[in-house]
Amino acid sequence: MKRVYCFLGIVLLVFMLVPVNAQTSLGFIGGLNLANVSIDPDMDVDWKNLNGLAAGGVLDFQLGDAASIRLEPMYLQKGTMAEEGDNKLEYKANYLEVPVLLKYALGSGEAKPFILAGPSIGYLLDAKLKATEGSESMEMDIKDVTKSIDLSLNFGAGFLVPLGKNSCFITARYALGLTNANDDPEDSETDIKTRGIQFLAGITFPLGG
């Protein structure tokens, strides 16, 4: 809970720093999350990326010519998978994710690259474990043994192209999970943290003309 309070404190501080007359843009974002996990102790399993969906909105507060604070509430699929012959194991978890990012544009042209970084908080919607052996498969609901809150740190880069008053952008980022997702009282030794390489694109529209 201390990390949750810390995140909420950061969000409050962010809004205190945003000027009242800051230019605001609203938009949409979506793309691919190459999801994975780190597990300690090592289970000697080759965990592979699981292709997940990322889709949501963008709320951007301009702080100056180059810097802005960006909120991106989105639906985000996390997890991992392992395969050996005809056997397959998939862990899938769906989250309502809210990244709070500091974005900084580079260069002086209209089309410009940017870097971004910041924390993110995810609220667990559901979590399932699916085992497949040949033509047989079994799925288990594991939401009860998965932490409901997942805190992470995001950092990456992108490129923005203006379209009249609107802006299109693409971005690639890495999400580093900080919270142990394992909430099984019978297995307190295993530490599971989410990871993700995200490729996203979107468009924003200025509010108030």
pLDDT reported for residue 64: 80
Copy the structure tokens of residue 204.
């924003």
Task: Evaluate if residue 133 carries a pLDDT over 90.
Answer: no
pLDDT reported for residue 18: 53
pLDDT reported for residue 16: 55
The DSSP secondary-structure symbol of 144 reads: G
Copy the structure tokens of residue 111.
């089309």
pLDDT reported for residue 208: 67
Helix, strand, or coil (residue 23)? coil
Task: Evaluate if residue 120 carries a pLDDT over 80.
Answer: yes
Q: Where are the domains of the chain?
A: 2-206
Task: Evaluate if residue 82 carries a pLDDT over 70.
Answer: yes
Judged by average pLDDT, the poorest of 8-12, 47-51, 89-93, 153-157 is 8-12
pLDDT reported for residue 130: 92
11-58 confidence digits (pLDDT tens): 555 555 555 556 889 999 999 999 999 998 877 788 899 999 999 999
Share of the chain above pLDDT 70, in %: 89
pLDDT reported for residue 45: 81
Residues contacting 44, CB < 8 A, separation 6+:
none
Copy the structure tokens of residue 146.
């998965």
Share of the chain above pLDDT 90, in %: 63
Helix, strand, or coil (residue 107)? coil
Mean pLDDT of 154-167: 92
| Higher-confidence position of 122 and 109 | 122
Query: Across the chain, what does the average pLDDT equal?
Result: 88
Task: Evaluate if residue 179 carries a pLDDT over 70.
Answer: yes
Mean pLDDT of 76-90: 90
Query: In CATH, what class is 2-206?
Result: mainly beta
pLDDT band per the 50, 70, 90 thresholds, residue 186 = confident
**CB distance 153 to 122 below 8 Å:** no
Rg of the chain taking only CA atoms, in angstroms: 19
